[in-house]
Chain A
Amino acid sequence: MTEARPTFLDGLTASLPIVMGYFPISFSFGVAATRAGFTGIEATALSVIIYAGASQFLALALLSSGAPVLVSAFTLIAMNLRHLLYGPALMREAGEAAETRHAWAWAWGLTDEVFGQALGALARGQRFSEPSMFGLGLGAYAAWISGTIAGAYAGSGALEGWPAVNAGLGFMLPALFLALLLSILNRRQLPVIAVAGAVTVIATLTISATSGILLGMLAGAIAGVLRK
């Protein structure tokens, strides 16, 4: 185990790979938002207030299709239920003595990737520190917001002459989900993921894409409950 507690700057440095991943994804969110008819300020507000990639893309689809406000909000909330586990899992690794005085602030930045990066650092023997969590979270949050602003104001026009770049940015999200899936994949979770995937396909093809996501998640989680 290393002796020194990681600083804010250490956390900020550790956020660089996430920054590289987040900027193009949030850029494509900014572009998608303006294409869907939202203003740059509205796109930025979604990134600042929600700060959860997949939910934000879904928010665009729900809001532009005129879905009721409460249904839309509930759908987005249900999508992020998994975040409930990140804090407890991280603090278990950090140990009983870990400080949580400022967790009300840094925990806002506990996205899938920040959680993964923080957990990985602890697994490699680094000590837990709140300043480093602030650095890690702020780097990622700043990249997410600035990418959204750049995408919203550069707009789809900036990418019209670059179809390959446009296509690559469009694939950033499926690629991120696949990489995250690989990072958590193990024999125990395989039935959960298989059931979730199969139900998503069936419900998307027979009902709608939004139902596919909700029913897929629910079916996968129930498969986890029924698993011995």
Chain B
Amino acid sequence: MSWELLTVALLAGAANWCFRALPILARTGRATAGGWLGRFLSSTGPAAIGTLFVAAILPALTPELGRTLPAITGTLAVLGVYLARKSVVLATLAGAFVHGLTVWLLG
């Protein structure tokens, strides 16, 4: 195992543990509302998830129908199932299934 990989993994993992556990152990959560830092932190989640979706879907948006159409049908499946069932897991699985099905139908 390369030391670069281990170093990056340990640093990122340690930070993840700090982010997830320390605010609970410090019991500081009840004071996070208000202030610019509070607004920054509360916007970080939606901004991150929005960014990750755009970054993940961007490579599929090409003039090539074989790549774009499955991305469109998969996205519509996620939207439809989420609106119907309000379930993140079901919507994710439905999107992946419909994406794969479209690729199969396109041959």
Chain A positions within 8 Å of B, measured between CB atoms, are: 17-18, 20-21, 24, 38-39, 41-42, 45-46, 49-52, 54-55, 59, 62-63, 69, 72-73, 76-77, 79-92, 100, 103-104, 107-110, 112-113, 116, 163-185, 189, 192-197, 200-201, 204, 209, 212-213, 216-225, 227
Interchain CB contact under 8 A, B12 and A88: no
Knowing A171-B99, A179-B95, A182-B91 are in contact, say whether A91-B8 is a contact too (CB < 8 A): no
Contact of B65 with A by CB under 8 A: no
Residues of chain B with a CB closer than 8 A to A195's CB: 47
A137 to B41, CA, bound (A): 24
Interface of A is mostly: helix
A220 to B49, CA, bound (A): 10
0 or 1 for each of B68-104: is its CB under 8 Å from A? (1 = yes): 0011001101110011001111111111110111011
- Report the nearest A residue to B57, measured CB to CB: A174
- Report the nearest B residue to A73, measured CB to CB: B11
Residues of chain A with a CB closer than 8 A to B64's CB: none
Interchain CB contact under 8 A, A189 and B74: no
Contacts A88-B32, A91-B29, A175-B77 supplied; 17 other A-B pairs, CB < 8 Å: A17-B89, A18-B89, A20-B93, A24-B93, A49-B10, A50-B12, A52-B12, A54-B52, A85-B32, A92-B30, A179-B91, A184-B49, A185-B46, A192-B50, A200-B54, A220-B44, A221-B44
Residues of chain A with a CB closer than 8 A to B29's CB: 87-89, 91-92
A197 to B48, CA, bound (A): 9
Task: Select B92's contact among A38, A51, A80, A175, beta carbons within 8 Å.
Answer: A175
Task: Select A172's contact among B28, B41, B42, B92, beta carbons within 8 Å.
Answer: B92
0 or 1 for each of B10-46: is its CB under 8 Å from A? (1 = yes): 1111011101111111011110100010011111111
Interchain CB contact under 8 A, A193 and B93: no
A108 to B57, CA, bound (A): 29
Knowing A21-B89, A49-B10, A77-B15 are in contact, say whether A177-B20 is a contact too (CB < 8 A): no
Among B43, B79, B91, residue most surrounded by chain A Cβ atoms (within 10 Å):
B43
Interchain CB contact under 8 A, B43 and A189: yes
Residues of chain B with a CB closer than 8 A to A182's CB: 78-79, 82-83, 91
